[in-house]
Amino acid sequence: MATKNTSKSTIYCAAVDLGATSGRVILGAWQNNRLKLTVAHRFPNTFRTLNGNDYWEIGALWHEVQTGLRKAAAALPRGKKIASVGVDTWGVDYALLNDAGRLVFPVHAYRDNRTQAGLRHLGNTRAALERVYAATGIPNVFYNSSLQLAETIADCPAITDLATRCLFLPDYFNYLLSGTMANELTIASTTQLLDVNSTDWSRPALDYFRVPPSWLGKPVLAGTRLGTVKNIPELAGARVIAVPGHDTACAYDAMPASPDGTDLFLSSGTWSLVGFESDTPVLGPDALKARVANERIGDGRYRPLTNVIGMWLLERTMLDLGPSARPKTPEAWDKLIDDAARLPASVSKVLIDITDPALANPPSMKAVIDGQLRRKKAVPPKNVKGYMRLICDSLARGHADAKAAFERMTGREFKRILIVGGGSRSPLLCQSTANAAKVPVVSFNLEGTAVGNIANQLIALRAVKNKAEFRKHLGAHLEQKVYQPKN
């Protein structure tokens, strides 16, 4: 039976939002076409290196998810229940299971260097690269699920006897919650294995990477009901809904974009994901060269984007600078951003080359950045505020370049950049992006991924008609700041 919302009732939804450096469970309360969020639980996340390979602590993550959902249930008014739960995570990573749902292989982290040989091989085989891109619309990038799975199958061939299902991380957590194994479309579109012209898997890509087709079920669209929560008594009866499993897809859904399609979307966090919504993919030689990824929206349409390295640069540089470099409070973060903004803007010739593969997961991020600068005969920054200024200016140039490339390839004109995520809280990054792109940047005070996650739950529950209606209601009450471009 559909869940109806009236002015007298409140619908409660829980968003499980897992990022590569942190996770949270957020409780959403929807009443009178307004959404109120409560952070029930927040926790750090990181991968661990073991004998030269990188792995996620998947059991620890599941423990935190359960803890967060119990806290969300405890935060409800007396007599109220959580109607539904949705899970989104970062892209590409997966769990291999047997028929009983048991893990049969450790869960690797996407920054593991194990894919480098396959990355080089595909990159150096032009005909194969073009065929794979034409089939999937996804460029050759070190973290792709396709390369990860190919390496596992090649180096551990017995896995094809042990594993019977491949669930990507939101799929896996949905399974732990509901007992239903299903692959969701948006997370499937990050893999380089989905057919760019349909909503099913690409047989040519599966064959090239030697991935057994039987491991994957036909992807379901966002909004699919997977069952009810199992083994968490506090959430008995709550529906598990397949929201857009990729956190970027959720973040895009949350943005109150202009209906005329002239807004460019920027989800700024560990990665800067720059893209737009489209009824058709962006393909061809120019798109391949620009590394355009034709990921999907939960309804099956397209979300062409480029993946610009993001605040990962700052996170890892702070590690190199020592514990004192990282601010401990929000006030300290604000002061660091203000101090960095007072420094002169970085001149173009000394900006970081953010396309450098060496920035992906180096032992020392500072050493890679300093090496780039010295090759340009420039002096590295002396302190953390200097690195922050340099990094924000470099990312801003990357955002502007992505905008220009999309306009060139599609003939569209983007009149604004809408930004959500951690970077949206940095006036320095927002202003630098506006200056570089020469269009206004609109920053929303918005838990973007969690809001998009909850929006899709509300649509599935029929409390909201569709995404356009949700964006209209959300935008009417949303705090935003506009950064106008300056010379």
> Could you list the active site residues?
247
Q: What is the distance of C-alpha 420 from the center of its chain?
A: 11
Name 268's bridge partners.
Answer: 272
Q: Which residue type sits at 278?
A: S
| Cα gap 197→293, rounded to integer Å | 13
Token look-up 């200056």 returns 435
* 334 burial via Cβ count (<10 Å: 0-12, 13-18, 19+): middle
| Cα gap 151→400, rounded to integer Å | 35
The dihedral through the CA atoms of 331, 336, 342, 348 has a sign that is: negative
Specify whether the CB–CB gap between 172 and 102 falls below 8 A: no
| Cα gap 368→380, rounded to integer Å | 11
CA distances from 371 to 215, 285, 346, 367, 368 (A): 43, 32, 17, 6, 5
3-state secondary structure of 390: helix
| H or E element in which residue 482 lies | strand 480-483
| Cα gap 35→296, rounded to integer Å | 25
Q: Which residue type sits at 329?
A: T
* 327 burial via Cβ count (<10 Å: 0-12, 13-18, 19+): middle
